[in-house]
Amino acid sequence: MSGPSSGCGFLMSVVVHGDLALNEQEKELNQRLKRLYPAVNEQETPLPRSWSPKDKFSYIGLSQNNLRVHYKGHGKTPKDAASVRATHPIPAACGVYYFEVKIISKGRDGYMGIGLSAQGVNMNRLPGWDKHSYGYHGDDGHSFCSSGTGQPYGPTFTTGDVIGCCVNLINNTCFYTKNGHSLGIAFTDLPPNLYPTVGLQTPGEVVDANFGQHPFVFDIEDYMREWRTKIQAQIDRFPIGEREGEWQAMIQKMVASYLVHHSYCATAEAFAKSTDQAVHEELASIKNRQKIQKLVLSGRMGEAIETTQQLYPSLLERNQDLLFMLKVRQFIEMVNGTDSEVRCLGGRSPKSQDCYPGSPRLFNSPVHKASSSQTYQTGTAEVEMELDHFSNGVSESSSNGFLNGSSTHGIDLEECDGDMGEIIIWRQLCGGSQAAIERMIQFGRELQSMSEHLRRERGKNSANKKMLKDAFSLLAYSDPWSSPVGYQLDSIQREPVCSTLNSAILETHNLPKQPPLALSVGQAAQCLSLMARTGSGSCAFASVDDYLH
């Protein structure tokens, strides 16, 4: 859920050029990099996109958006060699990284080196000559592995050739390509955080880099496919030895606890029965939680708070921050027009009171769980799961109000998730009712005083403060839905509230506040980002999402 964004900031910064062709190129670059290196978090580890105007020797000239490199020294002796590094080191999360260099002109002698070097390696040299520096040289076709003497490696290269350099961050090797043909491994045991580097040594030498601006000559994606398959086979074949039985039992337990945690009671019951497990929570309790969650997810916060207070009397009293959060959410739902309090005022279904949790009887009968039985007559587990799991379950509930109230002002939250611009015409504050607006404002004042009360009692809480400020900001706009803070009205924002409340309830029962399954998924994701940080390239081909779908 990282949002629609990571490349965006960069995109905006280059739009300034106003050059349409360049803009297209940047777009293509971003698309290609995203496709090649989906596991890279560019906020943390940006990808190389051009040569660095700061990290080069003075004999190097850059042009064409810092992609073209030319030599401008005397080129008399090896002492006149000069190199340039890319703007960023290669992130380990690439798994496999690749760039190409086209020789535009071999100049006088064609003493060109293409390769990799670490930050800080002397730039008055060709790549490969020093420690933590690696290069493939055009004049003799030799590879230089941190040494002044080369090893026979490949063919020579000259004007018109396209040389590619591929770093495999899984086994820490590097191979080159010439005009689309792999030349075989050149280096092994490479250190982490190397920068793409080129070096030139005689006048007239000019090379162009392709960091993904254009399609590559070599089919790097095919190579990546091979490694993805390898890594995935490694995961699939991970040896579990004699413990197969244990694994199965453990997985069953995880699934069961997940179902219980999210209160899919019928499914949990059926699963526990078929796998012969005990459920560690009473069914009634699960159903209570389910009820509350459903209320939160359908935006009926007032009812949710009240139900919670009834069923778990001391919970919110002891946990004032949680209560505060719930109330802020309630305020937002009021603005949205979905909270029960404003809905009653808005001339909508008084029947929504039907599902107001007055009697415990309701919780024992699945038929009554929803305000209308027409959508889930049987209360089968499958239907419930869908409702609970996806926010579009919310639309079911809200459409009840819609139907009953037969109001054209009904809010279809599902559509709200999508394009906001189109449905703006009928979206109104608090459902459009004046009484509801007044109630909302009054509620806001109560919230304000609660906030002050909390601050007096327990000191400053910046999270609470921000929460309230963001919620109140909604009122600053004539159309809160399309305002910068409008995201709060999105039904998806109910989910964290819902899960926080659910976790708090579970904790009072001495049950884990997070299901082990979610914990392990989270841990796996965390583990992958840790691998990325510590330089284990295989994280690139082991996305948790691949295994969740």
Partner 1 sequence: MMACLLEAPLRISVLSEVTATSRHYVDRLFDPDPQNVLQGVIDMKNAVIGNNRQKANLIVLGAVPRLLYLLQQSSSSLELRTECAVVLGSLAMGTENNIKSLVDCHIIPALLQGLLCSDLIFIEACLRCLRTVFISPVTPVQLLYTDPTVIPHLMSLLSRSQHTQEYITQIFAHCCKTPEHQTVLFNHGAIQNIAPLLISPSFKVRMQALKCFSVLAYENAQVSMTLVNVLVDGEQLSQVFVRMMQRDKPIEMQLTAAKCLTYMCRAGAIRTDDNCIVLKTLPCLVRMCSKERLLEERVEGAETLAYLMEPDIELQRIASVTDHLVSMLADYFKYPSSVSAITDIKRLDHDLKHAHELRQAAFKLYASLGSNDEDIRKKITETENMMDRIVSGLSESSIKVRLAAVRCLHSLSRSVQQLRTSFHDHAVWKPLMKLLQNAPDEVLVMASSTLCNLLLEFSPSKEPILESGVIELLCSLTQSDSPALRVNGIWALMNMAFQADQKVKVEIVRALGTEQLFRLLSDPDTNVLMKTLGLLRNLLSTRPHIDQVMSSHGKQIMQAVTLILEGEHSIEVKEQTLCILANIADGNTAKELIMTNDDMLQKIKYYMGHSNVKLQLAATFCISNLIWNEEDGSQERQDKLRDMGFVDILHKLTQASDPNLCDRAKTAMQHTPWWIEALMLWTPFGES
User: Residues interacting with partner 1, by CB under 8 A?
Assistant: 154-155, 178, 180-185, 219, 222-223, 225-226, 228-229
Kindly state the smallest distance separating residue 205's Cβ from partner 1, in Å.
22
- Pick 142 or 228: Cβ nearer partner 1: 228
Kindly state the smallest distance separating residue 164's Cβ from partner 1, in Å.
13
The angle at the Cα of 117, spanning 115 to 122, to the nearest 5 degrees, equals 115
Handedness of CA 306, 310, 312, 315 (dihedral sign): positive
- Pick 182 or 428: Cβ nearer partner 1: 182
- Pick 57 or 98: Cβ nearer partner 1: 98
Kindly state the smallest distance separating residue 220's Cβ from partner 1, in Å.
11
Q: How many CB atoms lie within 10 A of CB 403?
A: 15
Kindly state the smallest distance separating residue 155's Cβ from partner 1, in Å.
5
Among residues 231, 156, 191, 236, the alpha carbon closest in space to that of 528 is found at: 231
Contacts of 413 (CB under 8 A, 6+ apart): 299, 338, 391, 392, 394, 395, 398, 491
Among residues 547, 544, 535, 537, the alpha carbon closest in space to that of 37 is found at: 537
- Pick 185 or 492: Cβ nearer partner 1: 185
CA distance 299 to 336: 9
- Pick 140 or 281: Cβ nearer partner 1: 140
Q: How many CB atoms lie within 10 A of CB 341?
A: 19
Residues, the chain: 549
CA distance 348 to 342: 9
CA distance 431 to 424: 13
Taking each helix axis as running N to C, give the angle between helix 494-508 and helix 283-297, from 0 to 180 degrees, rounded to the nearest 10.
160
Kindly state the smallest distance separating residue 171's Cβ from partner 1, in Å.
12
- Pick 184 or 350: Cβ nearer partner 1: 184
Kindly state the smallest distance separating residue 112's Cβ from partner 1, in Å.
18
HSE-up (13 A, CA, CB side) for residue 470? 17
Kindly state the smallest distance separating residue 162's Cβ from partner 1, in Å.
12
Give the amino acid at 155. Answer: P
Kindly state the smallest distance separating residue 234's Cβ from partner 1, in Å.
14
- Pick 180 or 522: Cβ nearer partner 1: 180
Q: Which two tokens stand for residue 509?
A: 């029962």
- Pick 223 or 477: Cβ nearer partner 1: 223
Task: Give Cα 124 to chain centroid, integer Å.
Answer: 41
